[in-house]
Chain A
Amino acid sequence: MTVLRLAWRNLMGAGIRTWLNVTVLSMSFVVIIWAQGFLQGMNRQVQDAMIAAEYAGGQYWQKDYDPYDPFTLSDAHAELPPALAELVRAGDATPVLVTQGSIYSGGSMRPVLLKGADPAQHIVALPSEFLAGDSTELPALVGSRMASSAGLKQGDIATIQWRDVHGTFDAREARVAQVMNTSVQSIDVGQVWLPLDRLQMMTDMPGQATVVTLKRGVRPPPAPPGWAFHTTDDLMSDLRALVKAKSTSSSIFYLILLFLAMLAIFDTQILSLFRRRKEMGTLMALGMTRGRVIELFTLEGALHGVLAAAVGAVYGIPFLAFMARHGIQMPKMLDTMGFAIGERLYSTYTPGLLLGTTILVLIVTTIVSFLPTRRIAKLKPTDALRGRWT
């Protein structure tokens, strides 16, 4: 307690030097928490968007379906078994047929996934209602990224080519009924959405589907033979791995920030030790042991962290709250990072993040403060009083 009181006095007595260090350290606190909150917010937004637009309450996959292997698509379709058909009839699930095809627009041919969706479905946040209608025209729904890469806009006509179940090539024109703005790339890039029944007819796969998406909150019945059920968690695992990889790389940023702040603390400690050798000698002459002098100097350094947390809270809490409430506008180019990033990104702060960051910074500050003070262990009081190192 005595040492703490003395450390506090020394720190306050050092005036502007203390506050400069505290300010730098508090910025590190706030920026680290903000950067982490930003990532957490991004992570949560991406997951929420993907669940809403694609995965809902989980998916039944036809046993041959592998989204990462386009060669499986020719076999990855089957008629809905009675259990799944019942779910679809009850409005608790929606089927999607996936097949390979290509689109000819703007003078070039590009491979695409043709996906058939039920225009009446409300299971996922896909504007499938634009696929409704009984006109002779084939309506197509594309995402903004797909439209941009293929040079398409609403109302354009493009030629679609596909192979039916027998392997026969066929082609016809489709009109872009809507260009949807979605943050979820996996329902956008390289994909053309068509009415399910029309695609089933075009591919001669009546009543067949590749994927059946379950409504959120519906208890999934056991997967029928030939089908496998994937929970939302399973489906998100790749995304989580991607987020984790990106978190690791972005953590380098705040490690650098922490390093700079710690360098300031370390520098202050080294300077303090050299400048205050005589003071150390006086402290020992007055009856302090070397151990307590080390404790005092370490505590002085560590208190920078405590003060920084307090100062950081003063301006950091309003700033972080603003970021959580209003978010920040994301540049369009970030769309190419592989994340489904919305137009605004809102930071998310958990108690674990706030507490964890505070504890981490305090521990690192204490260690950095302690390291230079080890020299005191060998310091003779008589040398210190003369302003020398032993």
Chain B
Amino acid sequence: MQNQLNNGVVINTNDLVKKYPMGRNELVALKGINLTFRRGEFAGLVGPSGSGKTTLLNIIGSLDTPTSGSATVLGQRIETLSHRMAADLRNRHIGFIFQTFNLLPVYTAFENVEFPLLLLGMSGAERRKAVMAALEWVGLADRAKSRPAQLSGGEGQRVAIARAMVKKPEIVLADEPTANLDAENSHNILHTMEKLNLDFGTTFVFSTHDQKVIEHLRRKIVLVDGQVAADERLQPEPDRGQP
């Protein structure tokens, strides 16, 4: 496991299978997925609805567990983690971006971004500095006091990106991040995420069937019926001077 981390591997799945009970039958959402993601990748899981993209993302994000096989994230076997350990992994190392932004409605943009840092027990001064920096990254420092209802769709998603990035996680998992956005906002969002990926070396894994997103990916993994149908390198990974 340590070897994988030393090799820059942050996510590794091995014969990953996920089945859901459906009455007397069961639905096999993932059928033996073997994938490896290295630090700093900007990769996308592409495929039609029901192909298993979100299921895979949920397992990598320790929100769900595999039925069989294994998923290793930052050296931790997801299937062996307790609820508390999984929550801790998500809290410290993984950022989530959702299709519907999932901002907490009664909090301001600042408070939404601050939330993960509160869970980390960071001091007030540190939090303020980190939150304002994150809002600067996404160009929303001037909207810090706005509530989600007062933000446009693009702004809302940028706040969600700031929330995912504020703790500088190793991995960001984005589930259809542009599905609710128009072309211009989608472009801005993707540009922001690319920049953060390059600046911080954060691994971004998307689930998407949006062509606009696919154009920005450096690696495209096509899922069909719960299986990897193709795994293509679209652009070379930038050289960060690390193995």
| Interface residue ranges, A against B (CB under 8 Å) | 2, 5-6, 9-10, 12-14, 278-279, 281-291, 380-382, 385
CB distance from B104 to the nearest CB of A (A): 6
B63 at interface, CB cutoff 8 A: yes
Beyond A2-B121, A290-B83, list 11 extra A-B contacts (CB 8 Å): A13-B106, A282-B98, A283-B104, A284-B63, A285-B96, A285-B102, A286-B119, A287-B91, A287-B119, A380-B63, A382-B58
**23 cross-chain CB contacts under 8 A:** A2-B118, A2-B121, A6-B118, A9-B111, A12-B106, A13-B105, A13-B106, A279-B104, A283-B104, A284-B63, A284-B87, A284-B90, A285-B63, A286-B90, A286-B115, A287-B88, A287-B116, A287-B119, A288-B87, A288-B91, A289-B83, A289-B84, A291-B84
Interchain CB contact under 8 A, B98 and A287? no
Interchain CB contact under 8 A, A282 and B102? yes
B194 at interface, CB cutoff 8 A: no
CB distance from A185 to the nearest CB of B (A): 59
Interchain CB contact under 8 A, B102 and A278? yes
Interchain CB contact under 8 A, B63 and A385? yes
Contact-residue size bin, chain B (C-beta under 8 Å from the other chain)? 20 to 34
* Chain A, Cβ-Cβ closest to B85: A289
* Chain A, Cβ-Cβ closest to B116: A286
B92 at interface, CB cutoff 8 A: yes
Q: How far is the CA of A12 from the CA of B106 in the complex (A)?
A: 8
CB distance from B65 to the nearest CB of A (A): 10
Contacting residues, chain A, for B91 (C-beta < 8 A): 286-288
Could you tell me the dominant secondary structure of chain B's interface residues?
A: helix
* Chain B, Cβ-Cβ closest to A285: B96
CB distance from B158 to the nearest CB of A (A): 17
Interchain CB contact under 8 A, A285 and B105? no
B64 at interface, CB cutoff 8 A: yes
* Chain B, Cβ-Cβ closest to A12: B106
Q: Which B residues between 78 and 121 are near A, CB-CB below 8 angstroms?
A: 83-84, 87-88, 90-92, 96, 98, 100, 102, 104-107, 111, 115-116, 118-121
Known A-B contacts A285-B90, A287-B91; the reply to A382 vs B119 at CB < 8 A is: no
Q: How far is the CA of A291 from the CA of B87 in the complex (A)?
A: 11
CB distance from A382 to the nearest CB of B (A): 5
Interchain CB contact under 8 A, B64 and A380? yes
Interchain CB contact under 8 A, B118 and A382? no
Interchain CB contact under 8 A, B63 and A10? no
Q: How far is the CA of A380 from the CA of B163 in the complex (A)?
A: 22
Known A-B contacts A2-B121, A385-B63; the reply to A287 vs B92 at CB < 8 A is: yes
* Chain B, Cβ-Cβ closest to A384: B63
| Interface-centre pick from A12, A14, A279, A282 (highest chain B CB count, 10 A) | A282
Contacting residues, chain B, for A278 (C-beta < 8 A): 100, 102
Contact of B87 among A2, A14, A281, A287 (CB under 8 A): A287
B61 at interface, CB cutoff 8 A: yes
Q: Which B residues between 113 and 158 are near A, CB-CB below 8 angstroms?
A: 115-116, 118-121
Q: How far is the CA of A279 from the CA of B98 in the complex (A)?
A: 12
Interchain CB contact under 8 A, B64 and A382? yes
Interchain CB contact under 8 A, A282 and B104? yes
Contacting residues, chain A, for B121 (C-beta < 8 A): 2
CB distance from B226 to the nearest CB of A (A): 16
* Chain A, Cβ-Cβ closest to B59: A382
CB distance from A293 to the nearest CB of B (A): 10
